Amino acid sequence: MRYFIGNWKMFGVPKSISILDKINKFVKSDKKFNKKYKVVITPPHTLVQSYAKFFLNKKILIGAQNCFYKDNFGANTGAISPLMIKSIGAQYIIVGHSDNRSEGDTDVMLKAKVESSLNNKLKVVFCIGENKEHKIKNKTFEVLENQIQSTLNEKLNLKNIIVAYEPIWSIGTGQIPEPDDLLKTTIFIKKVLKKIFKKQKSPIVLYGGSVDSKNISQFKKLNEIDGFLIGGASKSDQNFIDIIKNYYR
Mean pLDDT for 206-218 is: 96
Find out whether 112 and 84 touch, Cβ atoms under 8 Å: no
Residue 120 confidence class, pLDDT cut points 50, 70, 90 = very high
Mean pLDDT for 112-126 is: 98
Q: Which residues pair with 6 in a beta bridge?
A: 41, 230
- What Å distances lie between residue 82 and 67, 105, 125, 176, CA to CA? 6, 16, 13, 32
With pLDDT > 90 as the criterion, what percentage of the chain qualifies? 96
Sequence-separated (6 or more) residues with CB below 8 Å from residue 130? 139, 140, 143, 144, 167, 168, 169
Say what the pLDDT of residue 202 is. 87
Q: What is the pLDDT of residues 32-82, one digit of tens each?
A: 999 999 999 999 999 999 999 999 999 999 999 999 999 889 999 999 999
Mean pLDDT for 164-179 is: 93
Say what the pLDDT of residue 33 is. 93
Sequence-separated (6 or more) residues with CB below 8 Å from residue 172? 210, 231, 232
- Is residue 200's pLDDT more than 90? no
Find out whether 60 and 28 touch, Cβ atoms under 8 Å: no
Give the C-alpha separation, 239 to 188, whole Å.
Answer: 30
Find out whether 72 and 58 touch, Cβ atoms under 8 Å: no
Tell me the residue range of the domain where 72 lies: 2-248
CATH code: domain of residue 138: 3.20.20.70
Mean pLDDT for 135-153 is: 97
With pLDDT > 70 as the criterion, what percentage of the chain qualifies? 100
Residues taking part in catalysis: 97, 166
Domain count, the chain: 1
